[in-house]
Structure 1
Amino acid sequence: MSEPLPYRKIIHIDMDAFYASVEQMDNPELRGKPIAVGGAENRGVVSAASYEARKFGVRSAISGFLAKKNCPELIFVRPRFDRYKEISKKIHKIFSDYTDLIEPLSLDEAYLDVTKNKKGNPSASLLAQEIRERIFNEVGLTASAGISVNKFVAKIASDYNKPNGQKTVSPDEVIAFLEQLPIQKFYGVGKVTAEKMFQLGIFTGMDLKLKPIEFLEKHFGKSGSFYYNVVRGIHNSEVKSNRITKSVAAEHTFDVNLSSEIFMIERLEKIAQELERRLKKYQISGKTITLKIKYSDFTQQTRSKSMPYFISDKSLILETVKELLYQEKMKDSVRLLGISLSNLNNEIKKTIVVQLKFDF
């Protein structure tokens, strides 16, 4: 079992309904109305939903059809990723006024290590409040924040007082906070894992804490030791300002389901071409090719193959993808195809950060 490091001060900033909020900010006619970004009514998947839409059960990753069924007044808006990136850069510029230890998770959320910060402010809670106020005043959007001694607890805490709120879990509150937490609220515990834990009599952090590490490793493999540690407040992962790209992918959802491999090959050629463009942009090659298939019933399948050498060329990628496509018979018509390349050749750089102990 690993021992905890001296206390750090970690802020997790999470923008509130980011894509939807940007659309409502840019178009006053959408304010106060239920909107979904992406997921056109007949096809596609919702990328983001406004809080007005969430009241009706509309959320990211559900189909546009189901979203409209849940909320007949729902307004669909086409995503504008260039605009979201533009806004995200402004937000990250604000972050950089406080610390250089910033780990982006996506366009709308990031970890900040403010143990030692540019403002010389010993209070991580006050810094989070100031950052949120600046985002609102300078960008026009609201953000929520979680503040604690490690990334795991800060991430959970940021969801507590959403939207436009924050929660601090100080060092002496961490254990009690985790013990009373419903197990499905633990970051990294998805629906399937939560169901398995319920069957094992684990409903809260306290239930999890009472299970010996051998029990957890038996039922959850390598994740068992992770669960054993985090429920005790042990999560020593550093805020990494230079996150290493682990995979590069391209995919497409079709307007009409595909049932013929010939038509799939045509689409895969275009997807491989887009993947090649992205690989060249980042000057990356990889060894492991994965074909992603989503069927009409929304079940998903992946097929992978690792090469003995690094590749980034469209023709080599497509040749392997064809092999994966014909590896086994399709079980149904296909609504989405994707190709990703992992096991990349980007250099891993390790940043060593000295953590000091301060009053929280």
Structure 2
Amino acid sequence: MADSNASATLLFSPTRLGDIALANRVVMAPLTRDRAIEGRVPTPLAIDYYTQRASAGLIIAEATQINPLGQGYLDTPGIYSAGQISGWKAVTDAVHAAGGKIVLQLWHVGRISHVSLLPEGEVPVAPSAIRANSKTFTANGMEDVSAPRALGLDEIPQLIADYRSAARNAIDAGFDGVEVHAANGYLIDQFLRDGSNHRTDAYGGSIEHRTRLLTEVVQAVADEIGAGRTGVRLSPVTPANDARDSDPQPLFERAVKRLDDIVGLAFIHVIEGATGGPRDNIAFDYAALRAKFHGPWIVNNGYDKAMATAALSTGQADAVAFGRPFIANPDLVARLRHDAPLAQFDQNTLYGGGARGYTDYPALDAHTAG
């Protein structure tokens, strides 16, 4: 039976994120699965994978590189070629036919890459030539990331143009919008943090300068496809991919305020605590961050139904993103609604491979749901 408690049913009530209408407030967070085929095209299996999960109020599709230098892991998809657009169009058409909504996460990994994954002769790019203490997934398994070079000031306009072009390509591929990935120690996040950004030009040094690339990328994307179809992901205190900053509270409060100045953004999506880990790894005032933004707010990291309901009922969030629970529970919305047990995913099939551990997790039996 459906929940009778009004606050509990809030999770399953409709809402809007900018121009995107959602049937419920359960968001599928982006999940890298490393299954793209030749040409960095999404696997045809992705059609089934995402359609199985179309009951989510919103699917944020896996991180997808905006250009060839943006790749940092084996077999991740892109959104810069005609073949990639076509491959994604088959996915979005199927999700929409199943009644779902789906946006694409736009990704540039920056220094979290390996030369074997990049065009011949290229090395990873970063705000500064500082190698990350991190590993990535290559054809040889997990390897240390390669040493990066610093992006030239004259290269930044093209980088921003690539984000704009990728956003347009995503809309052409049928996505309802995009999420700019500015979290988890990837390129935009590297520019934000003083642990990875030692620049002395207009993109480094002060908080105002370090938040400039984020602001310019999001503004360019919003100008291209509309602010109401543009979201942003942030992770203020995650240690993922050697992400470090000496004072994240004022940094991210300013970043959010600058995003708020781009009127009408669809959402900000915040990872609270360590990505996929402890929520209290570093003390941080998320309420102060929320107060800087007047648009929709998505929370993420370790939420269960009770926590999600509390966040929604107190106005802490407008929607709640669930990541790994969606891997083994394609019908996560129904399971949450009916307080049904959640299946556990197979760690060995998370990255790479075929249908096993990807599209073969069963939905809850209708009789069991009651």
Tell me the TM-score normalised to structure 1 length: 0.27
Tell me the TM-score normalised to structure 2 length: 0.27
**Is the strand fraction higher in 1 or 2?**
1
Question: Bigger radius of gyration, 1 or 2?
Answer: 1
